[in-house]
Amino acid sequence: MTEVLVAGVPATLLETLREELPDVALSFESSGEGTLAKLGDRGWAAVVLGCTLSDMAGIAVLQELSTRAGPRIPIVFQANGGGRAAREEALRLGARRVVQGEADAHSLAGVLRGVLEEDLRRPCIAVDVTAAIGSLWERFKNIAFERLDSVEAAVVAQLEGRLDAEARRRAERDAHKLAGSVGTFGFTEASRVARDIELLLQRSPTPEDTLRLSDLAIALRRALERPPATGPAVKERRSSQAAGQPAATRTEAVERRRKPANGRAGVTGGAASPPPTEQAGAPTPRSASPSTAIPVAEPAPQPVRAAGAAAGSRDTRPLLLVLDADIEPLDEDGETGRLRVLCAADPEAAYIALGAEKPDVVAVDLRFGGTADRGLALLAEVNRRAPLARTIVLTSGATPTERLEVARRGGSMVVQKPVTLRKLVDLAARMAGRPQGGPGRVLVVDADEAVLARASAHLRAPELEVVTLPDPQHFWETLERTRPDVLLLAEEMPGISGSELLGVIRGDPRWAGLPVLFLTDGRDGAVDHAFAAGADDIVDKPFAGPELRVRVESRLERLRLRRSIAEVDALTGLLNRQRALTAIGALLQAAERSRSPLTIVLLDIDGLGEIDAMFGDAAGDAVLQRLAATLREDLDVSDVLGRWQGGTFVLALPGASVEDAIQRVRQARDRLRDGPASDQDGRAVAATFGAGVASYPADGRDAATLLHAAEQALRAAKAEGPAMILPARWPDTSAPRHTESVDVVLVEDDVALAGLLSHTLLTRGYTTRCIADGEEAIEALAGGTPRLHGRVVILDVDLPGRDGFEVLRTLARDGVTERSRVVMLTVRATEPEVVRALELGAFDHIGKPFSVQILMQRLRRALGD
């Protein structure tokens, strides 16, 4: 029976109401306090708020109710005089109807009945409206996510201390709009967080604000990616799940042999969520948003477009492209989770997919298309089209020669067939690195096994891998092997303390950025100690499980934020130096394979220092941004453009000759010079740049040499005056030869090892030259004016030509060991051999096999870094 609370009305009125409304259960309450209390505990259909409450005015009760959360109970309010103003005030505070105090029981009953009937109709409206709101959210959520991106970018900029007032105001506006719109869609938490961010951005944030902002930004994304806890969107979600098959649990089966009619031969998509049917249409949702609301009309798997540009626009998961005719598709409910997966069953489909997609990982069957030659050709094509992708080569018993070929063509890994798609997805997920919001790995180091057990029990989750280590003696291997995203480290351990370990971690550039949480027993000074050693956070033992989890997750989220911007130069939006180097390395491999030229240009703004000094840093920044924009204008898809350092940019143009490159750079220079850039006062700042051009293979065969050549050419160009563009070896090589100086000269005849090492060195910013022969090493490094100087020479012993000991003796004789530090890297590691090497003048000795990490540490020591 419908229950109505009637408060503060005369007893006679109540009697009449009971007579008029026999089908309604009326409960009486005399006080305002009592009314407020009763309204909390039962599902009242309506409330009559009369004007004879014993303790407070009816309007005060309304006021209090208007601040409460939860569903609004329809209120019939009896105004005690006060005219139109009182009536309006009551309506403003949420009263459904206002009747005058002198209204008789009969008309009050009529109003109440009207309200109750109206409310019976309302649920129908509510369902329609929530459904309509659900579909509106589908249409507009990308706007919300764009605003979120903007807010996040600003927060990241603020974390890095480069958020200017203009960008702050933009972000404030976006936060404001987010707060307004997402709340309406039912994301009340996100709305509240966005409002907090907006408030913080209204003024220049203090350091505390900055930290708070970063936490809020994380909370905001979380709140938006989670389906709203209350409100219309969630209702919509439920109803559609009841109606049809939930989209998220259905995987598009990977139909490899099917030839679709739409010309996309054999290319099919396999993605858990969102389903490709959505991908092809409107931009789709982050995984957890209420997108699952859309019922999928046709549950059967269907051939889909090779998820082209439209699909890519929102689905930011890394893409695994499988080029193999034998791979069995995932079964119906197979999850590809963190990855998008595309399969191509024949070479034609493979080429189409390579043209349309930018895969992060490509798995290629070596016998794809019949023979190993065809497979290798395809691999070369993969490297040409997607130079930044990692490649997995699938083979059933490749010959050693084929394996070598695979390595030379850029294959990152060889996997024995047969292999399941599931396994490939796992491998690829690991290779593609941790994508946005993807799983993380935590390493917990504590000698107390009970602590380890508790920590892993609380932390372990589908998206969080927990590795525990009870013995700190194995710390380094474990760190190297597990590559955690977050490290939990106990302070008190036998043999070595957590802060000692942390000191070493922070000294290693590879791990310097690793978030470290300290587990301490809260002894005096432990906290200071841990922070001094570089801990990011402290957790007291015994810890509360949920708290530990929140702290770890917060670190992971921060890391994700930071990673998303780490690859891009903040000012210009171009690749940063590291990324540019990696990309150039890949382009070089491709150039080598395809025997085509690759030209590298270093460009440097003329007089950037003067521009900064005369017009201010902002003007200088504007010039840099303009140069970036100008260079981007005629950039080809495969070209690489990065910020090298300061006012210097690097441009790598595959397929371009020196002449082509000079022509293009000249045009860019003229466009830059002719377009106006202005300083703060609106005065135009003219800008030009000088450039040095070096080309593969004429000026060098590896990235270090080429960049060095381009740098020399740039220096020569700058010496000539502004706006000069010069090729390498200018004026020609007849000039007296200079000693080329690099960080590391690698004398090593094992091609694979040399490749690995020079890649490792190059990606850490060290210039490297490789020599594979003892004789050649002596020719290059020794003698009166050597051709090559290395700060460090890494020297193998077993070399063709002359052996390493002979090379070392000659280098010592010519005084090279005084200018260069020689590090022996050899299997010859018996004590007499080590002693002999050191006596001959070697600086250090590393036995093979070695770990790259140890080598890098010893090398840094040798370099005196």
* Closest to other proteins by CB, 235 or 390: 235
x/- mask, other proteins, residues 613-632, rule CB under 8 A, reads --------------------
Distance between CA atoms of residues 185 and 241, nearest Å: 18
Binding part of the chain for other proteins, among 174-182, 621-629, 694-702, 789-797 by CB under 8 A, reads: 174-182
The β-bridge relationship of strands 46-49 and 340-344 is: unpaired
Is 355 among the residues that bind other proteins (CB under 8 A)?
A: no
Neighbours of 483 (CB within 10 A): 16
> What is the C-alpha to C-alpha distance for residues 334 and 648, in angstroms, rounded to an integer?
48
- Which of 5, 48, 97, 587 contacts other proteins by CB under 8 A? 97
- From the number of C-beta atoms within 10 Å of its C-beta (0-12, 13-18, 19+), residue 832 rates as exposed
523: its two tokens: 């002894």
Which member of 140, 281, 544, 827 binds other proteins (CB under 8 A)?
140
Token digits for 18? 């009971």
Q: Is 517 in contact with 536 (CB distance < 8 Å)? A: yes
Q: Which is nearer to other proteins, 84 or 595 (CB)?
A: 84
Q: According to the binding rule CB under 8 A, does residue 239 interact with other proteins? A: no
Under the binding rule (CB under 8 A), the answer on residue 98 touching other proteins is: yes
Regarding beta strands 537-540 and 821-826, do their DSSP bridges make them parallel or antiparallel, or are they unpaired? unpaired
- For position 68 contacting other proteins by CB under 8 A, the verdict is no
Residues 6+ apart with CB under 8 A from 851: 477, 480
Site membership for other proteins, residue 25 (CB under 8 A):
no
Closer of 125 and 827 to other proteins (Cβ): 125
> Which one of residues 25, 57, 120, 126 is an interface residue with other proteins (CB under 8 A)?
126
Radius of gyration of the CA atoms of the chain, in A:
35
For residues 192-231, which are near other proteins according to CB under 8 A?
A: 195, 198
Q: How far is the CB of 741 from other proteins (least distance, A)?
A: 56
Please, what sign has the CA dihedral across residues 792, 797, 802, 807?
positive
Query: In the structure encoding, which two tokens stand for residue 281, read together?
Result: 């249409």
Q: How far apart are CA 649 and CA 641, in angstroms?
A: 7
143 binds other proteins (CB under 8 A): yes
Count of residues in contact with other proteins, rule CB under 8 A: 34
Of 58, 183, 410, 727, which one interacts with other proteins (CB under 8 A)? 183
CB 183 to other proteins: min, Å: 3
- Closest distance to other proteins from the beta carbon of 140 (Å): 4
Structure tokens at 42: 């039962």
CB of 45 to other proteins, least distance (A): 17
Nearest distance from residue 275's CB to other proteins, in Å? 24
Query: Which of 145, 185, 543, 649 lies at the binding interface for other proteins (CB under 8 A)?
Result: 185
Q: Which residue, 136 or 248, is less far from other proteins as judged by CB?
A: 136
CB of 212 to other proteins, least distance (A): 19
What are the beta bridge partners of residue 654? 598
Q: Which of 39, 45, 50, 96 binds other proteins (CB under 8 A)?
A: 96
Which residue lies nearer to other proteins by CB, 71 or 525?
Answer: 71
Main-chain phi, psi angles of 43, to 5 degrees = -85, 80
Secondary element (H or E) of residue 645 = strand 640-645
CB of 157 to other proteins, least distance (A): 23
Strands 268-270 and 340-344, by their bridges, are antiparallel
Interaction between residue 120 and other proteins (CB under 8 A): no
Cβ proximity to other proteins: between 181 and 520 the closer is 181
- Min dist CB 235 to other proteins, Å, is 12
| 92 is a site residue for other proteins (CB under 8 A) | yes
Rule CB under 8 A: choose which of 184, 625, 638, 688 binds other proteins: 184
DSSP 750: -
78 binds other proteins per the rule CB under 8 A? no
The DSSP result for 465-518, as a single string, is: EEEEES-GGGHHHHHHHH--SEEEEES--SSS-HHHHHHHHHHSTTTTT--EEE
For other proteins, which residue of 32, 50, 232, 329 counts as binding (CB under 8 A)? 232
Task: Return d(Cα 649, Cα 602) in angstroms, integer.
Answer: 6
We find the least distance from the C-beta atom of residue 209 to other proteins, in angstroms, to be 18
Based on the shown chain and the rule CB under 8 A, indicate whether residue 686 belongs to the binding site for other proteins: no
Decide: is 177 part of the binding site for other proteins (CB under 8 A): yes
357: left (phi over 0), alpha (psi -120 to 50) or beta: beta
Say which residues have a Cβ less than 8 Å from residue 262's Cβ, sequence separation at least 6: 303, 305
Q: Which tokens hold the place of 241?
A: 């799940």
Which residues in the 396-425 window bind other proteins by CB under 8 A?
Answer: none
Q: How many angstroms separate the first and last alpha carbons of the chain?
A: 82
Please say which residue, 169 or 257, places its beta carbon nearer to other proteins. 169
Q: Which of 105, 174, 117 minimizes the C-alpha distance to 146?
A: 174
Q: Return the range that interacts with other proteins (CB under 8 A); candidates 60-68, 125-133, 744-752, 842-850.
A: 125-133
Question: Is residue 238 a contact point for other proteins (CB under 8 A)?
Answer: no
Which among 412, 672, 459 is positioned nearest to 553, based on CA atoms? 459
Member of 151, 182, 362, 548 binding other proteins (CB under 8 A):
182
Assess 850 for contact with other proteins (CB under 8 A). Answer: no
Say how far apart CA 409 and CA 398 lie, in whole Å.
Answer: 15
Q: Which stretch binds other proteins (CB under 8 A): 138-146, 586-594, 782-790, 824-832?
A: 138-146
Closer to other proteins by CB, 86 or 265: give it: 86
Write the DSSP symbol of residue 317: S
Question: How far is 432 from 412, CA to CA, in rounded Å?
Answer: 12
Q: Would you tell me which residues interact with other proteins (CB under 8 A)?
A: 72, 84, 88, 91-92, 96-98, 125-126, 128-129, 132-133, 136, 139-140, 143-144, 173, 176-177, 179-185, 188, 191, 195, 198, 232
